[in-house]
A and B are shown apart, each in its own frame.
Chain A
């Protein structure tokens, strides 16, 4: 067998040149504030903290961090395990919590033991979710949008139809393991309780856009822009406030008298040249704001499906 020098494998070279070879005496190494800067960043990336510590770099820092950590977390509660309970999976995860106007993912640790599944938050200590394995009725992995990226989430049905929504880094593995331990047949399809109010029969959404709505003055509050969704169905136009999912604006299509996209001078909070979607109806007008393309699309869709001719839209600059 002949020795070779594989040019493509740079890692051998890095290992030798960063961790081995002669080093100069400390007084010759140029250092900043006592830390010798020997390609510190790369050395750290390749050799890891351990080697850095061997070299004596960052020792003080490491020591103080450890001390702080021990002090800070000494009082923390361990996850409450029952006698004889064995942890099978422990992983970082989060659970969807929807209570009133608060809709959020709560980060926590997920524990799967031989008889239950629970999600435990260390600080402040709280049991966020707990279910005995024999109460689990169904599991479903579903792709959901999460901050513009798609990811897999686990829907878990338990206790006669209650549904929890959980995320961990490997959802499929979690599902398989739960299935294996539960050992009975589980539902694969779960009805997700809709967080939105269902539409009446026969009505369907034609177009939906995330748009800001100029909320009318109320009490001591002046007019304010609020985020939400503008929905166009086959017989009405309504807007739902993002925070509490409440309908704040609603008008039947036959009451709409006109719609256009143009700049509005007297609107607070946006620049004078910014265009808004203006919906006129019997007894008033509503203004929506968002990206110009979105506004125009919404406008033309309303124009298209409208039962009677609308007041011609003011010519838009292209």
Chain B
């Protein structure tokens, strides 16, 4: 391999792992806080900068789930640290790698400067909060049955029957309760969303909630929201959620502040 080819090879295999975009003109090192203790530093263009570390131009991949989780936590840690220091950041998804070196990153920044700057301004002093509302399942079932005449009658009928005859009807009853539950859930979610709406900049209903935390296992999730909240309105939102939380049978999980993962609107840049 000739020297020129070798140089080209090295050039191609260089990459920059991007954590987030911040407001700030200085180029500086943030210490070895990155994935696998990589040195994290800023690359700036005018008054915005990308927070990156130098890496190979290939994605972080592993079959070991714990290792990947560790990487993701490191990524999130960098975002937290930079948010503390520089205010609201535009967070990147895990494993976003720019092929090339610092100059390539600068090129991207200058090309997308207007968009990025505008987005940073829009999200200034705002953070993302996650709200999940749970309800005690038995209570909800009672409520559903209580409000639905058909179900009430079916239940009374089942209770009068001998057990083995009742079995098939019982199944029918359960299925109908499930359907009614879904209708009720949507209704409740809308109610809660409207209560929350006045205290947030933006709210996003999370349709898919893949995970229910251990401590809420006996409860059913009613709704999940991602909210973009101005820092001065967080307290008020907390009060509103506190009211819901104190209602009999309900539990609210209120987490944050997070970087505005759900609200950066640039698509792919």
Question: Which residues of A line the B interface, CB within 8 A?
Answer: 1-6, 9-26, 28-30, 37-42, 45-48, 50, 86, 88, 114, 177, 180-183
Contacts and interface: CB of A to CB of B under 8 A. Distances in A.
Interface of B: 15, 18, 21, 57-63, 65, 68-69, 72-73, 75-76, 90-99, 108, 129-130, 163-164, 167-168, 171, 208, 210-211, 213, 234, 238-239, 241-242, 245, 252, 254-259, 261-262, 264, 266, 268-269
Contacts of B255: 3-6, 9, 12
A50 to B, nearest CB: 8
A88 B72 CA distance: 45
A23 B261 CA distance: 11
A57 to B, nearest CB: 13
Contact of A15 (B211, B241, B254): B211
Nearest to B71: A39
A309 B93 CA distance: 81
A26 B234 CA distance: 36
Given A3-B129, A18-B72, A181-B167, A24 B65 contact: no
Main secondary structure of the interface of B (DSSP, over half): mixed
Contacts of A38: 59, 93-96
Contacts of A47: 210
7 pairs of A and B residues whose beta carbons are closest in the complex: A1-B242, A21-B93, A20-B261, A183-B164, A16-B261, A11-B211, A3-B256
B238 A37 contact: no
B76 A46 contact: no
A183 B234 CA distance: 59
A38 B75 CA distance: 14
Contacts of B73: 10, 13
Contact of B94 (A10, A29, A39, A48): A39
Given A12-B130, A21-B93, A25-B269, A88 B262 contact: no
B93 A37 contact: no
A181 B171 CA distance: 13
A48 B210 contact: yes
Given A12-B130, A13-B76, A17-B75, A28 B99 contact: yes
A19 B91 CA distance: 12
Contacts of A15: 210-211
Contacts of A88: 167-168, 171
B265 to A, nearest CB: 10
Nearest to B59: A37
Nearest to B112: A25
A29 B58 CA distance: 9
A22 B94 contact: no
Contacts of A114: 168
Given A1-B238, A6-B255, A42-B65, A21 B213 contact: no
A177 B170 CA distance: 13
Contact of A180 (B97, B167, B269): B167
Contacts of B241: 1
B238 A24 contact: no
A46 B90 CA distance: 23
Given A1-B242, A26-B268, A16 B167 contact: no
A25 to B, nearest CB: 5
Contacts of B57: 30
Given A1-B241, A13-B73, A41 B93 contact: no
Nearest to B132: A12
B264 A21 contact: yes
